[in-house]
Chains A and B, each alone.
Chain A
Amino acid sequence: MTNSINEFEDADLFLVTGSNTTAQHPLIGSRIINAKERGAKLLLIDPRAIQFAQFADLHLRQNIGTDVAVLNGMMNIIIEENLYDRTFVEERTEGFDQLKSVTSRYTPRVVERISGISAADLEKAARMYATSDKAMLVYCMGITQHTTGTDNVKSCANLAMLTGHIGRPSTGVNPLRGQNNVQGACDMGALPNVYSGYQPVTDTAIKKKFEDAWGVQVLDDKVGLTVTEMMIAVRKEEIKSLYIMGENPMMSDPDTSHIDHALSHLEFLVVQDIFLSETAAKADVVLPAASFAEKEGTFTNTERRVQISKKAVPPPGLARPDWEIICEVSRLAGYAMDYTSPADIMREINTLTPSYAGITYRRLEQSYGIQWPCPNEEHPGTPYLHRDRFTKGRGTFLPCDFKPVAEVPDEEYDFLLTTGRIYYHYHTGTMTRRISILEREAPVPMIEINPEDAKRLSIKNNDTVEITSRRGVIKARAEVTGRVPRKVVFSTFHFHEAPVNLLTNPALDPLAKIPEYKGCAVKVRRCV
């Protein structure tokens, strides 16, 4: 997020797209609801009628995967009607002319044809966003989990820059991070192309810095593989071994049978986890790890706030904290790691990671966390980014053209399946499904289907239905609801009984390598 959670309390307008905020980020969702009550506006762009739909001043239900067209359409209107922030565009950005020429093709009529959103609504939306003083753009996986995810993200940024809704309190582009430490995993360089603090592995000076600090001769200066590419490399037998810490790709990755097949190809699979997940069951070695309550460490939330979490209880049996296990494996592989505590590791992070340099345990113990960038121990942290300038100086508009979802419905596979989460469960369900109250609230996998489609297919509430894609088939109970539009079904990946990722399309966004979880073609029938 460019801005902070508490800034939601002062914004005039929220443009929420691809985020079911009250379910996925409830304590951000609640702030938006409270802001609505004091008079702020809510502009929702989402195919599903989520809880926010009841509050929205305007709800645009675009066809799935047409976000770029909608956002371009809004920008076109904003430019046409001269509602953009001229000073901001002139002083802080570049590439306006390209933006103008690309978006000019997205007239309300064109956008209406692509997205199903009426010209009148689109105009209203554009004006609402552009003319608000403090507008926060909020998005989540509904924007990123598409083959056009990067384009969607760029278009969001374009819109915010065009209107000057960035670099001030209660504005900005605010992607909500789904898991409690996604932000931290990225910050710490658990990525194939960067070390901690987004320092590129291809940069010679940086490489040298890490080589010296870590006491190794040469580090690889070629970018590695992303998770989805790894799975392909495994099948091609280029990768022989996979070491997985705390993840469950057998449930979370698209096209599960492909993953299953890939993992069986491996010569050696190590899984380190707190439960024997679907993935751990396939491992050659399983290492029992401590849960969050059984170790010390820091987590970084969606507003870049680094916070400390302490050990409350001992781990069960012989389970050990992940960091200790890593130290042991490294030592046995011939590289000494002699950290005595997570604080000790943080000291090394401080010295090697400019954005975390001032985030020390001493400070964290006495505060409610520090928001990076925090370059030194005196620095208070950074609630919002891009105040006077963008990281790279001027912000560049990166206009994109609309591309449809990779797998469009046809006569046989006539529905679009879109996936997501529900309020009561988290990720692949390994934790929340072991919590009785949450399990009671949502015990069985449901498939949302529109009443008109349900009627045509003779499906009633709670009927068992079968959903088939080109990759697999699952069964789940139907929830007949107007929450989903016609010709769209929605389900979640929390339930191993109906692993929805058997169906999803592994087609990737070419840059971010994010699979298209939010749209693949399926057919639906009632089971008899």
Chain B
Amino acid sequence: MKTIAKKDVKALLSLWTKEYHVLAPCRTARGDFIFADFSEESFTLDYKKPPLPPKSVFLPHTEVIFTVENGQFKETVTAHNVVLFGIRSCDMMGILQCTSFMTRDRNDIYYSTKNAMARTVVMACPGPQNETCFCTTTFSGPVAHKGFDLLFYDMGESFIIQTGSKRGEDILMSGPLSDIDNAVARRKIEAFTKQAVENIPVVDEITEAMTRLESGNVDEKIWEHFGQKCIVCGGCAFVCPTCTCFNVYDHESSPGHGIRARAWDACLYGGFTREASGHNPRATQASRLQRRHEHKLLYYNDTDVQGGLCGCVGCGRCSDYCPVRIGTLEVAKALVSN
């Protein structure tokens, strides 16, 4: 296996930028953490999970999918050779989940082309990245077990790098790397993982909420309580690494000319399920929230719907970024509280 000194990571990423579009954690002038184009000045290894998960790279918030000129349509599939550096294990699982959904029945070429051209470099978490992490409950972290091209383990002054694919090996062909004995590396990784798992407690309420939802042993009033306070921002769907719903819109610039684009949509919006007649099968905010959380928690491990992956990868973002605290954690706690 390879290792790299922490101080040399910048050099490695700079090297990659010659061939790839490198997206990496960055700290802005005023101290915001976001993922952006790698730059030596703003790159940081001391970062938090950003609000948007990596799905935004493969399924951008909004993207033009075809243009029409003189009545002729032309598909626009844009994709780049991307390296996603430093994503967390939960988000890696989120990518797998999205990919499964976007390619299983029908290949969504806009998504899959971008996904195929991306390299994923996962940063294993030594402990929770924020108070809301529960990846050990959803089996999606703190260490990724599949899907990644490279996996970095923090060893203090250096990282041990595990390769997960041929493509991962390829991008490690050169750079300021050294070798480490495989057996030694494996021992260190094992110790790291054991400690990391201990650092992130399992949230029993999530598992119990799953069981309750499955058995239908749920107090309906809970949904009404949450429905009352939801401000219908759609944020919980936008920040969720496993939400992929989109809406389509057209911009006609003149007859025979224009674009069609798609954009993230959220099942929390009433219009999402409103039928042409005006009838809405999810007529109330309570029923929309119920649907969302059943989707995340109830259909767990149901291979038909999720391709064998969790509906929730335990990233905690919906708890961090819901303006009125209706995250999966809060909902699960409410579900089991009586």
Contact = CB atoms under 8 A, between A and B. Distances in A.
Q: Do chains A and B touch in the complex (CB under 8 A)?
A: yes
Interface of A: 22, 26-27, 29-30, 33-34, 37, 51, 54-55, 365-368, 423, 436-437, 440-441, 462
A437 B247 CA distance: 8
B233 A26 contact: yes
Contact of B228 (A29, A30, A55, A440): A55
Interface in B267-299: 269-271, 274, 278
B230 to A, nearest CB: 9
Nearest to A461: B278
A30 B271 contact: no
A30 B278 CA distance: 29
B197 interface: no
A34 B228 contact: no
A367 B271 contact: no
A365 B29 contact: yes
Contact of B231 (A22, A436, A441): A22
Interface string B206-236: 0000000000000000000000110111000
A441 B269 contact: yes
Given A33-B324, A436-B263, A440-B271, A26 B231 contact: yes
Contacts of B271: 437, 440-441
A459 to B, nearest CB: 17
Given A26-B233, A29-B231, A55-B228, A34 B269 contact: no
A366 B30 CA distance: 4
A367 B270 CA distance: 37
Contacts of A55: 228-229
Q: List the 4 closest A-B pairs by CB distance, nearest first.
A: A30-B323, A436-B249, A440-B271, A441-B271
Nearest to B228: A54
B30 A30 contact: no
Given A365-B29, A437-B263, A440-B271, A34 B325 contact: yes
A30 B324 contact: yes
Given A54-B228, A436-B249, A440-B271, 4 more contacts: A55-B228, A366-B30, A437-B269, A441-B269
Nearest to B278: A462
B232 A423 contact: yes
B320 interface: no
B32 to A, nearest CB: 9
Nearest to B261: A436
**How would you classify the secondary structure of chain B's contact residues: helix, strand, loop or mixed?**
loop
B265 interface: yes
Q: Which of A29, A51, A437, A462 counts the most chain B CB atoms within 10 A?
A: A437
Nearest to A442: B271
Nearest to B264: A437
19 contacts: A26-B323, A30-B231, A30-B323, A33-B231, A34-B324, A51-B231, A55-B229, A365-B30, A366-B29, A368-B30, A423-B232, A436-B247, A437-B247, A437-B263, A437-B265, A437-B269, A441-B269, A441-B271, A462-B278
B260 to A, nearest CB: 11
A102 B30 CA distance: 51
A30 B325 CA distance: 9
B285 to A, nearest CB: 10
Contacts of A441: 269-271
B11 to A, nearest CB: 27
A502 B274 CA distance: 31
Nearest to B271: A440
Contacts of B30: 365-368
Contacts of B29: 365-366
Nearest to B285: A51
A51 B285 CA distance: 12
A20 B252 CA distance: 36
A414 B264 CA distance: 45
Contacts of A22: 231
Contact of A27 (B247, B265, B278, B323): B323
Contacts of B233: 26
Contacts of A437: 247, 263, 265, 269, 271
A237 to B, nearest CB: 40
A59 to B, nearest CB: 14
Contacts of B229: 33, 37, 55
A307 to B, nearest CB: 10
Nearest to A368: B30
A366 B27 CA distance: 12
Contacts of B249: 436
A427 to B, nearest CB: 19
A51 B265 CA distance: 23
Contacts of A29: 231
Contacts of A366: 29-30
B295 to A, nearest CB: 20
